Amino acid sequence: MTQRKQQQTRKPASDHVRRNTAIAAATAVGAVAAGLGAALSLGWLDRFFPKGDAEHAAADLAADAGTPGTTRAPDAFRPDPTAPVPASEREGLRPATGPAPTLVATRGEMANQTGAANG
């Protein structure tokens, strides 16, 4: 038989072949949809979908922003360094004193802690 005659006498695909093809196509479409949904929810595509004007631009980060420290605050907002400190605020202004932080535990520190593991 020639090839043309074989093509003409070929039977249509059986039901299970068509069903398997449809399942594979549906699985591929579902996987692509799930991947896009995950990418959107994780924010991987945020740069392509701007959120609008919900936030304002930071003026100090703009390209034409002035150099910090070159302008002073208005007189009304400058603190008076010679003003007396009330007694109620002195404790809050006292420098923090105490042992310096260290990376090494002091001797016997675990024995001094309370807990089920130290019982």
Element at 32 (helix H, strand E): helix 15-42
pLDDT band per the 50, 70, 90 thresholds, residue 118: low
Contact 111, 118 (CB under 8 A): yes
CA–CA dist 83, 81 (Å, integer) = 6
Model pTM greater than 0.75?
A: no
Among the listed residues 100, 98, 119, the one whose alpha carbon sits nearest the alpha carbon of residue 110: 119
CA angle centred on 87, ends 82 and 90, rounded to 5°: 70
pLDDT in tens, 71-83: 777 788 888 888 8
